């Protein structure tokens, strides 16, 4: 130690925080909270990353696995790189104005295809991936030794307890619409607690400077005057409507999203139905995707006696309540709901004269697993059938948007015809801006034009017909069941970077290849796919909201704790019965897809969904905890599992081709492979590596 270091103050560790069990919980909570923060915050500033948040999740798994691997070196760093890496990431994201750029004629990303950013911005997604992986690796450096410091099941239980705390904390902050400054303050507090556990050494002030800089940048971002909903960073600004009148407009995550019209909306599609059927009054109206209230105001203008206005984002609805000059949400004829539109249709018993899908598009995925957007389950054949079942005998269903691509207009028209049994009528304006209407009044026309205005033929597209979106394949904006080249290129980069980084980390720490557990690796891949399928199923059953996703993820972690309890108390001796039960549960889940569980009453739906969706999750966790209980190298088993989960995130894209139900087949195959790997070979590798590394782990944990 130099004389300069000796001159700086140093505080001894706080006894309670020095306890290795407490440090393990704090480390796990920090990892989960930071992971969720990155998944939520980066898309709010880096435009269009919201379409690719699953890459941030994959990067997090890779980073944590690398951190555990690098932590095996036993070297105690003078300064933890995490705080400075975090500062670098925050500075880059806020200053560099990064923007993902993807152009595809066979997949629609609202706003992205029209972006004028330079084509060189295709490097942004790989850059974000590498930065997130490096950041999470730095934070995970002490995790491996801490896992080795306790009996395996106890260590795993502590890790999951910390993860639950991280998930619950971030969910609470999301519910309160808190800004990123609060999120980064929580990270700073967790870092301080972990530092107090190891003693505030002479270099702690250096990390403190980096954390203070992060908080300053977060405070600077907060000065932009945004509202932070559970989904978006929302800003209001002045803009001109199509008629040239200045209005208030809204951007989400820096992307123009919708206007707040003081009078008649400039877009023609708001009024097209009333032009087709002049003089017709729609007494009971349902507006899904009500936003700030423009569509509600138009329905009231044309004589609606009651309007149910459903909006998934509470902040957007509140802006409409506070800012809309016509005050449609204050009208006594309007009932407001904050809910997913599909979930509302599933739970309401009301019937309507008019149902409107009012530009329900989004700029983000509902969760970091799967490629499901907020509105994905609104635009399936089954969803359209649900709308049909909620129409009065002379009711009409209308949906409109700027659909960007002619094939998307054709696809929606085909889905409406499948759901209703009759062709819809259509009016197309410029650039695939279109209005559809379908229902008994349109069927009664027998192919003739409506009395008040002209219609446009549904476009015929060249090549193969677009694939209709279903509850099992809910990809409205994908032309056909394929994996687009931009995904393949990105996934190839992910795999190559993972291979090189893991190989480099193994070389640095002199970890032999036999130290990696193929058994735990495959278990990680299988469970990632199973978790994805479960979360997608719950989004279908209970709504694609942030709350449903958070509760489902929380429930999965609780299942892990329950599996740990069962294995620790019962001391199961054989894993074969667990695998047999898991395969049986997967078979039941295959035979009873989620759409067949949409039953009433609600308690029965919850019960059946819990059994069908969570039974495989619970059994899979029993298998993992059974294997983890007796491992001699808990850190390498855990790292192998996380790296396998990263691969599972890559394999998950197979759903774009085969649908989410097919993931169950892949899950079964992977668990069958894990069963084959659960042999004496794994035990020998555990013992060999544990003898080699026990002294290093003991030093690192201290």
Of 214-223, 464-473, 525-534, least confident by mean pLDDT is 214-223
The predicted structure's pLDDT at residue 452 = 86
Predicted confidence band of residue 691 (pLDDT cuts 50, 70, 90):
very low
The 10s digit of each residue's pLDDT in 125-144 is: 899 999 999 999 999 999 99
| pLDDT classification of 242: cutoffs 50, 70, 90 | low
- The reported pTM is 0.90
Q: What percent of the chain has pLDDT over 90?
A: 58
* C-beta separation of 442 from 436 below 8 A: no
* DSSP H or E segment with residue 210: helix 204-222
331 pLDDT band, cuts 50/70/90, is: very high
The model's pLDDT over 455-475, given as tens digits with 9 standing for 90+, comes to 998 888 888 899 999 999 999
Q: Where are the domains of the chain?
A: 11-226+480-701, 233-361+381-443
Q: What is the rounded distance in angstroms from the CA atom of residue 57 to the CA atom of residue 55? A: 5
Residue 425's contacts (CB-CB under 8 Å, 6 or more residues apart) are 276, 436, 437, 438, 442, 445, 449, 450, 455
Residue 257's nearest CA partner among 48, 102, 547, 429 is 48
The chain-wide mean pLDDT, for the chain, equals: 87
Instruction: Note the pLDDT tens digit of each residue in 19-68.
Output: 999 999 999 999 999 999 999 999 999 888 888 889 999 999 999 999 99
Residue 201, pLDDT above cutoff 60: no
pLDDT score recorded for residue 243: 67
- pLDDT higher than 90, residue 261: no
Which pLDDT does position 595 carry in this prediction? 66
Going by DSSP bridges, is the β-strand pair 391-402/306-311 parallel, antiparallel, or unpaired?
Answer: unpaired
pLDDT on residue 79: 61
Question: Given pLDDT bands bounded at 50, 70 and 90, which one contains residue 116?
Answer: low
Token digits for 674? 């894990």
More confident residue, 376 or 120: 376
For 77-111, how does the pLDDT look when each residue is reduced to its tens digit (9 = 90+)? 656 789 999 999 999 999 887 888 777 888 888 77
Reduce the DSSP state of residue 473 to 3 states and report it. coil
Q: What is the CATH number of domain 11-226+480-701?
A: 1.20.1250
pLDDT of residue 693: 47
**Phi-psi label, residue 275: left if phi above 0, alpha if psi -120 to 50, beta otherwise:** alpha
Mean pLDDT on 670-699: 60
**Residues 398, 450: Cα–Cα separation, whole Å:** 14
Q: What is the pLDDT of residue 229?
A: 94
Give the least confident one: 156-160, 242-246, 395-399, 434-438.
Answer: 242-246
pLDDT > 60? residue 698 = no
Handedness of CA 298, 302, 303, 304 (dihedral sign): negative
Measured over the CA atoms of residue 280, residue 285, residue 286 and residue 288, the dihedral's sign is positive
Can you tell me the distance from the alpha carbon of 168 to that of 121, in angstroms, rounded to the nearest whole number?
35
The answer to whether 97 touches 118, Cβ cutoff 8 Å, is no
Quote the crossing angle between the two packed helices 124-139 and 20-45, to the nearest 10°: 160
Tell me the two tokens of residue 496.
């190559």
| Residue 142 near residue 23 (C-beta atoms within 8 A) | yes
In the sheet with 233-240, reading across from the earlier edge strand, the strands are 227-228, 233-240, 246-252, 255-260
Q: Is 30 in contact with 109 (CB distance < 8 Å)?
A: no
pLDDT digits (tens, 9 = 90+) for 641-681: 999 999 999 999 999 999 999 999 999 999 999 999 886 55
Tokens of 406: 């002619």
Beta bridge partners of 284: 306
CATH superfamily of 233-361+381-443: Vaccinia Virus protein VP39 (3.40.50.150)
Give 696 or 403, the one with higher predicted confidence.
403
Pairing label, strands 246-252, 233-240: antiparallel
The residue among 676 and 205 whose pLDDT is bigger is: 676
Least Cα distance to 659 among 393, 406, 371 occurs for 371
pLDDT at 337: 97
Predicted local confidence at residue 1, as pLDDT:
43
The pLDDT value given to residue 78: 54
The tens digit of pLDDT for each residue in 555-609 reads: 889 999 999 999 888 888 888 899 999 999 999 989 887 767 766 676 776 677 7
Whether residue 43 contacts residue 253, with contact meaning beta carbons closer than 8 Å, is answered with yes
pLDDT digits (tens, 9 = 90+) for 142-199: 999 999 999 999 999 999 999 999 999 999 999 999 999 999 999 999 998 888 877 6
What distance lies between CA 45 and its chain's CA centroid? Answer: 16
Q: What share of the chain in percent tops pLDDT 70?
A: 89
pLDDT given for residue 696 in this prediction: 41
Decide which of 72 and 558 is more confident. 558
Nearest CA-CA partner of 417 in 397, 432, 393: 397
pLDDT of 640 over the 90 cut = yes
Half-sphere exposure of 493 (CA within 13 A, CB side): 16
Beta carbons of 383 and 595 less than 8 angstroms apart: no
Across 115-119, 420-424, 496-500, 624-628, least confident range: 115-119
pLDDT at 124 over 50: yes
Mean pLDDT of 444-461: 88
Q: How far is CA 467 from CA 14, 105, 199, 524, 556, in A?
A: 61, 15, 60, 32, 32
């Amino acid at each position: 130690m130099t004389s300069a270091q000796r001159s700086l103050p140093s505080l001894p560790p706080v006894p309670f925080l020095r306890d290795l069990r407490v440090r393990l919980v704090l480390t796990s909570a920090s990892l989960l909270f930071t992971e969720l923060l990155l998944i939520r915050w980066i898309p709010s500033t880096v435009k269009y990353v919201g379409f690719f948040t699953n890459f941030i999740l994959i990067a997090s798994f890779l980073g944590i696995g690398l951190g555990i691997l690098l932590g095996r070196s036993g070297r105690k760093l003078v300064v933890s790189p995490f705080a400075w890496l975090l500062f670098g990431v925050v500075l880059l994201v806020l200053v560099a104005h990064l923007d993902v750029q993807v152009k595809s004629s066979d997949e629609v990303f609202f706003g992205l295809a029209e972006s004028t950013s330079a084509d060189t911005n295709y490097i942004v997604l790989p850059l974000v991936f590498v930065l997130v992986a490096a950041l999470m690796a730095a934070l995970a450096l002490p995790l491996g030794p801490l896992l080795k410091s306790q009996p395996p099941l106890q260590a795993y239980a502590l890790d999951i307890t910390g993860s639950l705390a991280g998930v619950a904390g971030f969910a609470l902050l999301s519910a309160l619409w808190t800004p990123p400054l609060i999120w980064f303050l929580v990270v700073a507090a967790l870092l301080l607690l972990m530092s107090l556990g190891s003693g505030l050494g002479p270099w702690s002030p250096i990390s403190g400077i980096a954390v203070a800089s992060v908080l300053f940048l977060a405070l600077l971002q907060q000065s932009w005057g945004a509202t932070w909903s559970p989904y978006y960073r929302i800003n209001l600004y002045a803009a001109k409507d199509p008629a040239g009148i200045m209005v208030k407009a809204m951007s989400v995550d820096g992307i123009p999203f919708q206007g707040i019209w003081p009078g008649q909306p400039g877009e023609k599609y708001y009024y097209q139905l009333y032009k087709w059927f002049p003089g017709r009054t729609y007494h009971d109206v349902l507006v899904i995707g009500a936003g700030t209230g423009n569509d509600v105001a138009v329905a009231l203008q044309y004589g609606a006696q009651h309007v149910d206005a459903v909006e998934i984002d509470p902040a957007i609805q509140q802006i409409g309540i506070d800012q809309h000059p016509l005050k449609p949400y204050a009208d006594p004829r309007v009932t407001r709901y904050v809910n997913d539109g599909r979930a509302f249709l599933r739970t309401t018993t009301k019937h309507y004269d008019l149902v409107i899908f009012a530009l329900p598009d989004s700029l983000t995925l509902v969760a970091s697993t799967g490629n499901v957007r907020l509105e994905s389950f609104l635009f399936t054949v089954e969803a359209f059938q649900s709308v049909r079942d909620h129409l009065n005998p002379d009711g009409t269903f209308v949906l409109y948007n700027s659909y960007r691509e002619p094939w998307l207009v054709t696809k929606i028209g085909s889905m409406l015809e499948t759901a209703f049994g009759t062709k819809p009528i259509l009016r197309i304006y410029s650039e695939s801006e279109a209005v559809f209407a379908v229902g008994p009044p349109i069927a009664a026309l027998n192919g003739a034009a409506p009395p008040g205005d002209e219609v446009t033929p549904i476009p015929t597209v060249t090549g193969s017909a677009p694939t209709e979106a279903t509850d099992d394949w809910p990809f409205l904006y994908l032309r056909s069941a394929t994996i687009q080249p931009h995904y393949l290129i990105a996934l190839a980069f992910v795999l190559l970077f993972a291979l090189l980084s893991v190989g480099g980390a193994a070389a640095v720490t002199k970890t032999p290849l036999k130290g990696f557990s193929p058994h735990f690796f495959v278990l990680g891949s299988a469970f990632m796919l199973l978790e994805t399928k479960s979360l997608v199923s719950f989004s279908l059953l209970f709504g694609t909201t942030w709350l449903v996703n958070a509760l489902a993820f929380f429930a999965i972690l609780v299942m892990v704790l329950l599996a740990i309890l069962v294995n620790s108390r019962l001391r199961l001796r054989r894993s074969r019965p667990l695998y047999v039960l898991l395969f049986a549960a997967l078979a039941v889940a295959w035979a009873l897809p989620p759409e067949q569980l949409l039953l009433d009453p609600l308690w029965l739906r919850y019960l059946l969904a819990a059994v069908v969706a969570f039974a495989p999750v619970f059994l899979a966790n029993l298998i993992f905890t059974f294997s983890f209980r007796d491992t001699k190298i808990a850190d390498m088993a855990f790292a192998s599992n996380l790296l396998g989960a990263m691969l599972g995130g890559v394999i998950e894209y197979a759903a774009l081709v085969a649908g989410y139900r097919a993931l169950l087949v892949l899950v079964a195959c992977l668990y069958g492979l894990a069963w084959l790997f659960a042999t004496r070979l794994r035990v020998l590798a555990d013992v060999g590596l544990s003898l080699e590394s026990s002294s290093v782990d003991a030093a690192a944990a201290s």
